[in-house]
Amino acid sequence: MKNNKWKMDTAIIHTAQTPCQKTGAVVSAVVPAVAYAFPDADSAAACVAGERAGTYYGRYGNPTIATLEEKIAALENGEAALGVSSGMAAISGALLAFLQHGDHVVCTRDVYGGSYKFLTSLAPRYGISADFVDCTNLQAVEQAFLPNTKVLYIETPSNPCLTVLDIAALSKLAHGHGIRVIVDNTFMTPYLQRPLELGADVVVHSATKYINGHGDVIAGFIVGKNEHIQFMRKNIMGDLGQNLNAWDAFLILRGLKTLGLRVRQHCQNAEEVARFLDNHPAISHVYYPGLASHPQHELAKRQMRGMGGIVSFEVKGGYEAAKSFINALRLAMISFSLGDPETLVQHPASMTHASIPAEERLKFNITDGLIRFSTGLEDAQDIIADLEQALAAIPMMGTASRE
């Protein structure tokens, strides 16, 4: 079932899903099978060769995952999608599809710690080099391109400082040099931003976060042209064993149905949190695209349908103050993840971005006082009350209150 005229909330629920013709079941079936039988040897050989539709081994997909992949591709307005075992499997798989020994990648400088670690530790072992550049500066990006640059890799908004990058302008620039553009769209989901429509070649997601939205699945997606996705399926995901499993695919299909409701509430709560923090004397800086003070606020309004559920902010007093604040929270939970119904908080310098050397972290504005706050679906006033009491517990800031 596909209808390009549907609005996003309708498409999220109905795209690629119809009642079972045999049983009438509305919910998609979980098919955990590894092996698939064929009527004869020629049919099996044709399936392996790609001459016949179907699945021949569970490492390369199955019917439950295929339903989810069709839905994700449609939501991102891409030709095809590939479901994989984690966000890092999506990131590494997409990069390895376009890079080989001797190639170079330009990456946005403030990037998820896992992406940074892959590009600085594992990729060099295979002869792939990377440079990290301020991608808000198109001239700097172009100057970083080398004759062997094959990929421009960006995430926008970035993790954790929420830098917003101009996908259309960067894609045009990269394509002028014959370079592929890969965009990590995890923070936005296709509900708020669709990079392929802005010129990107490939979109990656950690579906662990907002797409599933319930904190009970680790998964990733890659979306792009069919030829690229099928190459990744056979030669990257399948060969490296990065496959998604049927049960997790089923949970994501279930979680997706409330994506619109969840994302809208995440955005609303995050905006209220950001405005509260922006007026608090214990906070020196708030990173949130929805604030007029954000350097890419106008770009965000043009490029995104909403400002997302993540708020990052700088606590005065450095690491000790940040630690005191986090430890004093009662409702928000200390966790490495984001995009769950629960409000989650973490300290990037010592947690998600600890793999980045301290001197490099400072270049990316990841200071010891920086906090990343994944605003949950609780009542916004309860979240703010928790922030207020925790900020009051910071040493030397006990008298701090909202102005």
Per-residue pLDDT at 357: 76
Active site includes 103?
A: no
- 8-256 has which fold? Aspartate Aminotransferase; domain 2 (3.40.640)
Active-site residue identified among 56, 112, 153, 287: 112
Report pLDDT for 4.
Answer: 63
Residues of the chain with CATH 3.90.1150.10: 260-392
User: Catalytic pick from 103, 110, 166, 184?
Assistant: 184
Q: Is 372 a catalytic residue?
A: no
- Local mean pLDDT, 10-residue blocks, the chain (403 residues): 77 92 92 93 92 90 95 98 98 98 96 93 97 97 98 96 97 98 98 98 98 98 98 95 97 97 98 98 97 98 98 95 95 95 94 76 82 98 98 70 40
Tell me what pLDDT residue 362 has. 73
What is the H or E stretch that residue 135 is in? none
Active site annotation includes 56? no
In the annotation, is 59 catalytic? yes
Q: Which long-range contacts (CB under 8 A, 24 or more apart) does 62-67 make?
A: 62/31, 62/32, 62/33, 62/246, 63/29, 63/31, 64/28, 64/29, 64/30, 64/31, 64/246, 64/249, 64/250, 64/253, 65/243, 65/244, 65/245, 65/246, 65/249, 67/16, 67/17, 67/28, 67/249, 67/253
pLDDT score recorded for residue 91: 98
For the chain, residues classed under CATH 3.40.640.10 are 8-256
Among residues 59, 117, 225, 275, which one is catalytic? Answer: 59
Cα(59)–Cα(240) distance, rounded to whole angstroms? 9
Which CATH number is 260-392 given?
Answer: 3.90.1150.10
Identify the active-site residue in 109, 209, 361, 372: 209
